[in-house]
C-alpha cells in the first residue's frame, strides 16, 4: 500500500484553523495533489486529553509499504512568515 503517517499536534491544528491571517509554505514533505486522508487516530488511548493526532494518507506517489509494516511518522516542514 502507498501510505504515510503524519502526526499533528492539537496546538498546530489551533494555529491552522484559528483566527487571523497566516502566511506559510511547506518546505519539505508537502502532500501531493492526489493525497487522500484515509484514517485519523489518537495514538494514546489512555491520555486524559488528546495532544496528537495521526493522519494516515495515501497517494500514488508514495513508495509502496509492505502489508503489516509499522508506519513511522513523517515530518512536514513548514516555514511561517511574519510581517512587522
pLDDT of residue 3: 96
The C-alpha cell of 54 is what? 495521526
Cβ–Cβ under 8 Å, residues 28 and 77 = yes
Task: Return the closest-CA partner of residue 14 out of 47, 50, 44.
Answer: 50
* Euclidean distance between CA atoms 39 and 56, whole angstroms: 5
d(CA 60, CA 55): 17
User: Which pLDDT value is given to residue 59?
Assistant: 97
Domain boundaries, given as residue ranges, for the chain: 3-63+71-81
Predicted local distance difference test score (pLDDT) of residue 84: 62
Q: For residues 72 and 77, what is the distance between their CA atoms, to the nearest angstrom?
A: 16
User: In tens digits, what is the pLDDT along the chain, a chain of 84 residues?
Assistant: 899 999 998 888 888 889 988 898 999 999 999 999 999 998 776 776 778 899 999 999 999 999 999 999 999 999 988 876
Amino acid at each position: 500500500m502507498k501510505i504515510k503517517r503524519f502526526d499533528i499536534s492539537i496546538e498546530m491544528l489551533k494555529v491552522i484553523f484559528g483566527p487571523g491571517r497566516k502566511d506559510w509554505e511547506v518546505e519539505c514533505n508537502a502532500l501531493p495533489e492526489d493525497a487522500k486522508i484515509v484514517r485519523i487516530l489518537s495514538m494514546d488511548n489512555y491520555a486524559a486529553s488528546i495532544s496528537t493526532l495521526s493522519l494516515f494518507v495515501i497517494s500514488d506517489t508514495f513508495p509502496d509499504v509492505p502489508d503489516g509494516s509499522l508506519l513511522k511518522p513523517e515530518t512536514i516542514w513548514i516555514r511561517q512568515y511574519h510581517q512587522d
